[in-house]
Amino acid sequence: MDRHLRIKDFVQNTLGCTCPDKVFEQIEDRQVAHASSPHTRSIIIGSRLLVYIWEVRSSKNLQENLLALLAAGRHERDGCGLNRFRAVLAVDSITHDVEIEARPYFSQFAGTDDRIHLHVVSSAALKDI
């Protein structure tokens, strides 16, 4: 399966995105190394949706790193005129611990901004994209 189709499948079926198929005709996928945010991958879909992927190796400094990720994503989303930002935390084993710990920080950061979403997924879900 083509990489763009795998990304589309991941975003629609794993993250629950309901963007129309036309949006997925343009996908920009890049590896990043940001000193100010822990994400290592950024995907822009159809000039509308921004997805950051952070492969969480440890919950050490989760709050600090999550807030940096969210701030960088919101800044890029707004600066590029995108509609939505989805922050994806990939963990080796899907445990509620990371999500339980991350959810309050996310809620506090996002406030009433309904264009930011947090997803905690298994690292295995990223294997083919």
Convert the pLDDT of each residue in 49-91 to its tens digit: 999 999 998 888 899 999 999 999 999 999 999 999 999 999 9
- As for how many domains the chain has, the answer is 1
In this prediction, residue 92 carries a pLDDT of 85
In this prediction, residue 95 carries a pLDDT of 60
Assign 94 a pLDDT band (cuts: 50, 70, 90).
low
- Tell me the β-bridge partners of 87: 52, 118
Of residues 35 and 68, more confidently modeled: 68
Question: If you average pLDDT over every residue of the chain, what do you get?
Answer: 92
Among candidate residues 51, 47, 64, 48, the one with its CA nearest the CA of residue 90 = 51
The residue range of the domain holding 70 is 3-126
Note the Cα 68 to chain centre separation in Å. 13
pLDDT average, residue stretch 113-127: 93
pLDDT average, residue stretch 2-25: 93
Name residue 56's amino acid. V
Assign 29 a pLDDT band (cuts: 50, 70, 90).
very high
In this prediction, residue 128 carries a pLDDT of 83
Torsion of CA 116, 45, 79, 71, to 10 degrees: 40
- Sheet hosting strand 116-122, strand order edge to edge: 27-31, 41-45, 49-55, 84-91, 116-122
pLDDT above 90: percentage of residues in the chain: 75
Please give the model's pTM, rounded to 2 decimal places: 0.93
